[in-house]
């Protein structure tokens, strides 16, 4: 690996920028490539075979651009395609499910956790398995409408609050029916941290004094990347980032700049096929 390694990060859209943001803060000794596969979004409603095909082509593109390690900043691709990705490329591949479960383990005292994610991630039960390995009981809820709302930039919109409220209501009722005393909610989709304050407000309204910690895998993933690639911290350094999108560059740049908190110059439009 070069003295300044180049790390490829991808997601179906802007959600993975929540992971890139943590990487830029905690693993600033590297430079980055970020790919938003916006033409094929959402991944979360697709079959395992389709997600694996999309994820492999995204990964191979980043490796062809020189990526020396890959961070799958997408829970759906991490849940459904990690093995396919590790077979398809020869660089280290780090997903976000294991790190999300590790963050849940660090957070939970009751050992009961709730997970919200895309339909495909929930159907894979990857979180239930990763939580079980860590001695946690997990209950999962698919929230398929949240990704399109985030991609529209409807972050603090009444429709988004209503939709998130319906999902969380359902999840809390289901957890109670199962006799769980969950104290942690895992945002099992990298788009959802962009709705964190909406989700925290809804939980506060619904829980009447009981606290549920909301966590995502971005920080733990960044820590793991830094440790695994032996990246020394470089506090003064501003990593270089190149951005790619498979659909409207203008929309991706506008939304991404808002979410990443820094300008995204020169987003390149690429074609990865269907
Ligand atoms: N952000 C992705 C995830 O973490 C997937 C969103 C989607 O394309 O459905 O699962």
> Which residues are within 8 A (CB) of 38 and not within 5 positions of it... i.e. 6 or more apart?
12, 13, 151, 245, 246, 247, 248, 251, 252
How far away, in angstroms, is 64 Cα from ligand 1 center? Answer: 23
Average pLDDT, the chain: 94
Q: What separation in Å is there between the alpha carbon of 78 and the centre of ligand 1? A: 10
pLDDT given at position 258 = 84
* Tokens encoding 34: 């970020």
pLDDT, tens digit, 9 for 90 and up, residues 25-52: 999 999 999 999 999 999 999 999 999 9
Does residue 274 surpass a pLDDT of 80?
no
Question: What's the pLDDT at 91?
Answer: 97
Give the mean model confidence (pLDDT) for residues 76-102: 97
In a 13 Å sphere around the CA of 141, the CA atoms on its Cβ side amount to 23
Look up the pTM and report it: 0.95
Full DSSP string of 195-237: GHHHHHHHHHHHHTT---EEE-SHHHHHHHHHHHTTPPP-TT-
Task: Specify the pLDDT at position 232.
Answer: 66
Across the chain, the runs of DSSP E, i.e. the strands, are 6-11, 31-36, 69-72, 93-94, 112-117, 137-142, 184-187, 213-215, 241-245, 268-269
pLDDT tens-place string over residues 216-242: 989 899 988 988 888 766 667 889 999
Ligand 1 pocket by Cβ (under 6 Å): 11-12, 15, 41-44, 74-76, 118, 121, 147, 189-191
- Which pLDDT belongs to residue 136? 98
CB half-sphere exposure, 44, CA atoms < 13 A: 24
CB 85 within 8 A of CB 77: yes
Work out which ligand 1 atom sits closest to the CA atom of 144. 9
Four-residue CA torsion sign, 65, 70, 76, 81: positive
Q: Has 143 been annotated as catalytic?
A: no
Catalytically annotated residue among 168, 189, 199, 267: 189
HSE at residue 120, side-chain half, CA atoms within 13 A, is 22
Point out the ligand 1 atom lying closest to the alpha carbon of residue 79.
Answer: 10
């Amino acid at each position: 690996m070069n003295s300044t390694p180049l790390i490829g990060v991808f997601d179906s859209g802007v959600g993975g920028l929540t992971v890139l943001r943590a990487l830029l803060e905690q693993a600033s000794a590297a430079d980055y490539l970020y790919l938003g596969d916006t033409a094929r979004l959402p991944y979360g409603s697709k079959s395992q075979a389709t997600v694996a095909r999309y994820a492999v082509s995204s990964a191979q593109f980043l490796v062809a651009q020189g990526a020396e390690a890959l961070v799958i900043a997408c829970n759906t691709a991490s849940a459904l395609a990690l093995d396919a990705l590790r077979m398809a490329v020869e660089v280290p591949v780090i997903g976000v499910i294991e790190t999300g479960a590790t963050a849940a383990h660090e957070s939970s005292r009751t050992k009961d956790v709730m997970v919200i994610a895309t339909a495909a991630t929930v159907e894979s039960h990857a979180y239930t398995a990763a939580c079980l390995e860590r001695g946690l009981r997990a209950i999962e809820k698919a929230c398929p409408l949240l990704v399109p709302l985030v991609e529209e930039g409807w972050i603090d919109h009444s429709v988004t609050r209503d939709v998130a409220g319906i999902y969380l209501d359902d999840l809390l009722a289901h957890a109670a029916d199962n006799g769980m005393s969950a104290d942690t909610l895992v945002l099992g989709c990298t788009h959802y941290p962009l709705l964190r304050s909406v989700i925290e407000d809804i939980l506060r309204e619904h829980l009447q004094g009981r606290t549920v910690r909301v966590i995502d895998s971005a920080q733990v993933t960044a820590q793991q990347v830094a440790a695994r690639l032996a990246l020394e911290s470089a506090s003064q350094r501003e990593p270089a980032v190149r951005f790619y999108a498979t659909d409207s560059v203008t929309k991706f740049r506008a939304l991404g700049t808002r979410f990443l908190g820094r300008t995204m110059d020169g987003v390149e439009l690429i074609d990865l096929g269907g």
